Amino acid sequence: MSRITTLFGYESTAAEVIAGVDLTGRRAVVTGGASGIGVETVRALAAAGAEVTLAVRNTAAGERVAGQIIEDTGNNHVFVAPLELADRASVRAFAESWTGPLHILVNNAGVMAEPLNRTPEGWEHQFATNHLGHFGLALGLYDALAAAGDARVVSVSSSAHLRSDVHLDDLHFENRPYEPWAAYGQSKTANILFAVEGAKRWAADGIVVNALMPGGIRTALQRHVPEDLQRQWDQYRWKTVEQGAATSVLLAASPLVQGVTGKYFEDNNEALPNVAGENTGVAPYALDPESATRLWDLSEKLI
């Protein structure tokens, strides 16, 4: 199959990739919709007429963002609901409270390179939040996604997946030294493997699942990154939040990728294979179907 490309690229914004798309009657959930690229993802979907729910830890911040987006877009169907991805009870409560079909699920929230932190289950917190929480959410919302008939699930990954494969025999750093970036990288690889396996398992339900790298964007996601490293990053070219949300919105709503599933995108196009030493493209282990199946089965057992 040939590589999937669009007319959009690095500098394209969320508003540009969704221009002319009518999402009236379609319902979306965006995790982490109250900050960073989540805000712009919500804004673009709402501007196109979708009903959008911000699934967030801080509901007060969510209400402020929702109010501003309603004011900006004139779309009154922007809602807020509590969700703590590292808390299985919270994930379950969100899924059980949902009624009716769900057309778009954007698994956007995440934590990056934080010091070692464990959930009450003993799970490494980045893996628990970035992968297991979103995995549990998607499974909990499966019936709603299937009811839509043509639902899209979008998994926000990162080029940091190039830092680590998923260690299926030691997901939670119980038998190896903890390293924040390795843990983050592992969780981001898991986000891609989720798309690979979800695409296969849910194809008969009309559900497509894709993953993406949004690009380098200055947001609160970097709050755990040391300042000296952030200063080093200043030599690189940063995207605006509007540009950073573009690939998420493309996969969530654009007719240009209708029916596309199980892929990893960056800069609004399917990513090329990674070249050793470069920080772009997709690692072969992140698309490995055997690893994807094993991770899915193991994740189901954990949650």
> Which residues are marked as active site?
184
Please report, in angstroms and rounded to a whole number, the separation of the first and last CA atoms in the chain.
Answer: 35
- Tell me which long-range contacts 233-241 makes (C-beta under 8 A, separation of at least 24): 239/10, 239/214, 239/215, 240/13, 241/36, 241/37, 241/39, 241/40, 241/217
Write the CB contacts of 141 (distance below 8 Å, at least 6 apart in sequence).
29, 95, 98, 102, 105
CA atoms of 271 and 157, how far apart (whole Å): 12
CA distance 102 to 28: 6
Phi-psi region at 38: left, alpha or beta (left = phi > 0; alpha = psi -120 to 50): alpha
- Whole-angstrom distance, CA of residue 122 vs CA of residue 44: 37
> Tokens 């929230």 sit at which residue?
109
Closest CA to 257 of 270, 246, 267: 270
Under a CB-based contact definition with an 8 Å cutoff, are residues 269 and 9 in contact? Answer: yes
Residue 169 in contact with residue 235, Cβ under 8 Å?
Answer: no
